[in-house]
A and B are shown apart, each in its own frame.
Chain A
Amino acid sequence: MKARRSRVRRAGKVRRSEAGKTRRVENEWKRTCEGWVAETRIRDRAPQTSPSGIPLKSIYSPLDLEGFNYLEKLGFPGLYPFTRGVYPTMYRGRPWTIRLLSGFGTGEDANERFKFLFKEGETGLNLALDSPTIYGYDADDPRMRGEVGQGGASISSLEAIERIFADLPIGRLSTSIVTHFLGMPTFAMYVALADKLSIPRGELRGTTQNDPLWLFHVGNPPLPLKPSIKLAVDLQEFCLEQMPKWYGINVSGYHIREAGANAVQEAAFTLADATVFIDETLRRGWDIDKVAPQVSFFMNAHNDLFEEVAKFRAMRRFWAKILKEKYNAKKPRSLIFKFHTQTAGSALTAQEPMNNIVRATVHTLSAILGGTQSLHTDSYDEALGLPTEKSSRLALRTQHILLHESGVSHVIDPLGGSYYVEWLTDKIEEEIWRYFDRIDAAGGMLAYTEAGIPRKEINKTSYKTQLEIENGRLPIVGINLFRSKIENIEICRVKLEQENKEIEAVRRIRQIRDQRKADETLQEFKRACEKWENVTPTAIKAAKAYVTNGEMYQVFREVYGEGPHLE
């Protein structure tokens, strides 16, 4: 015992003296810098802060990580606090899921693109919906003219889902449905399809985004806040009961970032949003160790490689801590921050679109180095239109090349231990805690959202970023550096004929469905909404009777009212 103590003391002395030595050499380096600048007149022109505003130095050393406890801060992958990765073998065991967001035009178009992507090496489905579907209007609503099938697939009824997933083995594949707002009508239709195909619900693997909160931070929500949370949690609860392999809520930071938030705001608001859903599920009597494993996240990978990697690592550590310390979660599976990443569309430019291939590669790399579970790489034509087959194949190949050729997937958390990345990970985590203190002081994330604070902050950051691009402080090649014009490239556009097909399809369904059954199930659905019961079972019943997305949303609007118009 005695001998051991003295060894420790000796080690401490050695460390201290090494720190002193490092500091002395650092001072020497600083003097060298001054001499160098005086001699060469090469001044330090690098930005003084990270894009999130964290003050940066020009170099990091052990001096910036004094007192850094390896096991407390990092540990090993698959073990608390999961900074290095959520699974013990990470990509050595199984690579991330290659999941390209897709869906446009008619159901047949979406189906054909899915099959193409699979043939080309995609490993999970990722379905985008068009705006009318997200906002709860059917393809044949005259106000939707020109928007059907534009930014995603149009899903008016189960019939559309049947065409989109035709011949795809949904019992074996993992399907992500990016519903943007509520998961509900679309999810009910997907479950109805599985029931029809006799695939057990418990076997279905996938994710519904089903996070309405981000639309209160940016954009405009179709429904008021509280009913939106209720409906999202209804779906989550249904998954807890019947679909253990389905992530009922996928909390989205992606859109927050796309709307102009910085990395810290994206991280903090997303994690805080997740607590709203968890709190509501717990309020309904569920156990945290049942709830937490079925929550997942959807994040953005933007330009600043190291800040992005640090963000992902900080979020993992923060999530593990808050689940353990605040929510008293016991099971390791409850503590892990699992996330899908999409590369930043807003970082891509319409000018010189081929440059976007390089940008998306850096974004993709940050997600991989950050330990993502699933990944979409944007196509180079993202700023101009929908991806073509050619551009989406290239996006797939970007991931394939990084996975199979670059070696980045061979060693787990390869940036772990970098003085800079560890320091920045710590800083971002501190910033997230600071946000949580403010949010707690405001009475929680629901109150914070109702007060519109995230919204104001994001708008402010977005405007500041644009001004920095305008004055050249934030360099964007092809925009304010090496400026050039927009070239004409092949753009995938949805034509009105495709829209017409979807309009005809939903009109036909209204004619041929058993109307009495549709009316009855819709009434039953409405009663569940009015009583604030879990509406999922009645939504599935209605979906099976070919009740449409628009009809179900009409009920939501009648019962809960319209969403607020926010700026």
Chain B
Amino acid sequence: MLAFLTRTRGRTRLHWTDWASYAYLCVGLFTMFAPIVWLVMSSFKTESAISLFPPTFLPYSQKSVAVPGHDAPLPLYLVRDAEGREREMAQMRRIGIMATMVDPREPAAELRVNINDRRPIRELRFAFSNYTELFAKFDFGRYLWNSVFITVVATLLTLLINSMAAFALSKYQFRGQKAVFMLIIATLMIPPTIILVPVFLVINGVGLLNSLWGVILPAIATPTGVFLLRQYMLTIPDELLEAARMDHASEWRIYWRIILPLAAPALAVLAIFSIMWRWNDFLLPLIVLSKSEYFTLQLALNSFQGELNTQWHYLLAMTVITLVPVTLVFAFLQKYIATGIASAGVK
């Protein structure tokens, strides 16, 4: 195993620079993933466990026990008596440094203990309720649906109209074609942040304020997508189109049945990008969607972190759920994303 790990091509022994490289990579691994692992572990902590200081890595929470005569379960402690023996007791109440304890097996006998003589009994418990309660307590299902709807519909529309434009710009020669292409590429230089106010006006003008379509439509014509697809379609030989035209295929049929299937790899790259853009989008939804029933997951997260500052257990669970689709995309499609970025220099 060690031989495999320390193997290098050609040389037999690892140079010190190799060790330095691996050390650098391991520090990177820790810096990049420790925060995320910590987040995921924390999201399984119960409400009381999450506010414990110092925090534990694993989701330990205090054990509690139901005692006859008390409505709520009482927290369990290990109490040390004068002789140094320890026994499990439940705490009924605490005033200052004195706590009133009771043995769960004999609920009648109460005992007053200094709080320094007792320590909580903890057990490992994963609070899956943080996740399940999201759907019952908040409109979480709706936020999830809004995000999914925007992502899916916007991606399909993006693929459709960008590929149509790319087809026109790569396979036709018409007057003004160059100008159209330059115009589209020029919009790469205009980030949405600098036309925020007038975009808001236009969305308001066409009546799409507080509508999911108001987030979907403004960004479906991406210059990146047109550019990426056009460059790919240029490599498709024109003879294929000529042959189809000989057979009296309509232009739409040529686009739909020949060009689209052949451009599938480029479409896949654009689809992945579009999913990432839409799922993670924040500023446009923030100004367009102000009613909470239209919130996306990102907006819901943002508004909850303002309101529910104390309810971290729900907020963290929500964050983890938001993280999941992106992680799946990453796990399965990393290679395509890497090639997409390396070839087009886009994100």
Are chains A and B native binding partners rather than an unrelated pairing? no
User: Which residues on B are within 8 Å of A, measured CB to CB?
Assistant: none
